[in-house]
Homo-oligomer: A and B are copies of this chain.
Amino acid sequence: MALFTFIGSSRGPWHLERLETVTGEGLLWAECLDTRTGSLSDEASTWMLRGTTSNERYVMRAERNRLVAKQEGLGRAGSTRAALIPIRKNPAWWNMTQDERREVFESRSKHIETGLAYLPAIARRLYHCRDLDEPFDFLTWFEYPPEASAAFEELVTRLRGTEEWKFVDREIDIRLVR
């Protein structure tokens, strides 16, 4: 478990290229993004979003083995493009039992399988914030080289077309460059 704060302000290593409200309430524009460990609250900023790396909730052993074999870490020199996608899911999602959520998430929406297809080019880290006092349930951070930009658009388009995404009631798509 490790807590991180994403800070939107006028300073930081990542510059916002675009901030799009996909679903629900928007988020203010900020010029730059910085990521810091811990829960910060006294920083001058336009917004701060907190999340924790936590444990996996749906991935099974065979899937994790395939992910670990194929994925690469964050911070690769060539990964000068990034996306931060905060999402919130509706009460109907959270009222489902574990097996029902897994059924929608993977059996019908192929969330893990789809992400696997874009590894290792598109690296990904999920932060959980539903149990924190935060406006979103998840923050997903992606890093990729410029040549994977078209593949990244394809990935988010595929995910947004799934049954799982019908449960998303707030989504912001923030694209970054460093």
Q: Which parts of A82-106 form the interface with B (CB within 8 Å)?
A: 94-95, 97-100, 102
* Set B3, B39, B59, B130: member contacting A98, Cβ < 8 A: B59
Residue A131 CB within 8 A of the other chain:
yes
Copy number in the complex reads 2
Q: What CA separation (Å) do A131 and B1 show in the bound complex?
A: 7
A54 on interface, CB distance cutoff 8 Å = yes
Q: In the complex, which of the residues B52, B99, B133 contacts A60, with contact meaning CB atoms closer than 8 Å?
A: B99
Contacts of A39 in B (CB 8 A): 133
A contacts with B: majority SS: loop
> Within 8 Å of chain B (Cβ to Cβ): is A58?
yes
- A interface residues, tally (CB under 8 Å): 26
Distance in Å: Cβ of A129 to nearest Cβ of chain B = 8
A55 at the interface (CB under 8 A from B): yes
Chain B residues, CB < 8 A from A100: 61
Tell me, yes or no, whether A64 is within 8 Å of chain B by CB.
yes
Docked-complex contact B56 and A98, CB < 8 angstroms = yes
Please, could you name 17 A-B residue pairs with CB atoms under 8 Å apart, sorted by A? A1-B94, A1-B130, A3-B133, A39-B133, A52-B131, A54-B130, A55-B94, A55-B95, A55-B130, A56-B97, A57-B98, A58-B98, A59-B98, A60-B97, A64-B97, A98-B102, A128-B131
**Which A-B residue pairs are the 7 nearest by beta carbons?**
A131-B131, A60-B99, A55-B94, A61-B97, A52-B131, A64-B97, A54-B131
